[in-house]
């Protein structure tokens, strides 16, 4: 069953948004991914977001640049958590999107990640789904353990090679 919906307004957002999908893949979480423009096809957007709860979706990850309406409009319609990813681009390099997502009006919350923070959005969606799902919680603990081991291995390599060799072989 699809538990997460990933949505972006343009295929130019795919490089960033794919990082959320990659995390969900690694954790075995089913998702759907869509390109829908809230501005250019509002009828398609409203039909899509209105049907997500019935499909069993529990979290939306919405990426948007500039005016960033996808996360906010998703949260206005969808009754469950929405995670917004402000996307870098435009004249303000993502700051406009960050402000648009983080400054939602009272009663319409959107969990907001860093600019281009799709990997963390995937992890946050998994953590939300792990509430009441012990199997997924164990996968998240293993994920954290793997990250720790990767950092420890990098530190060990640095100690063995010194920073100059470390940088030259990166």
pLDDT at position 67 over 90:
no
pLDDT of residue 77: 97
- Mean pLDDT score, 99-107: 95
Strands laid side by side in the 82-86 sheet: 31-35, 4-8, 59-64, 82-86, 111-112
- 23: region left, alpha or beta (phi > 0 left; psi from -120 to 50 alpha): alpha
What is the average pLDDT value for the chain, to the nearest integer? 96
Mind listing the domains of the chain with CATH numbers? 4-131 (3.40.50.1970)
């Amino acid at each position: 069953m699809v538990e997460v919906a990933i949505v972006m307004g343009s295929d130019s957002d795919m490089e960033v948004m794919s990082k959320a999908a990659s995390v969900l893949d690694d954790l075995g979480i089913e998702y759907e991914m869509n390109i829908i423009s809230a501005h250019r096809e509002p009828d398609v957007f409203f039909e899509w977001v209105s049907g997500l709860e019935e499909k069993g979706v529990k979290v939306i990850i919405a990426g948007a640049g500039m005016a960033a309406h996808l996360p906010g409009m998703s949260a206005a319609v969808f009754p469950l958590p929405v995670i917004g990813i402000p996307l870098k681009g435009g004249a303000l390099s993502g700051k406009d999107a960050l402000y648009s997502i983080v400054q939602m009006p009272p009663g319409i919350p959107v969990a907001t990640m860093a600019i281009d923070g799709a990997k963390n959005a995937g992890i946050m969606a998994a953590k939300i789904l792990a509430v009441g799902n012990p199997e997924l919680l164990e996968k998240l603990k293993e994920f954290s353990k793997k990250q720790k081991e990767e950092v420890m291995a990098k530190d060990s390599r640095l100690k063995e090679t010194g920073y100059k060799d470390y940088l030259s072989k990166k």
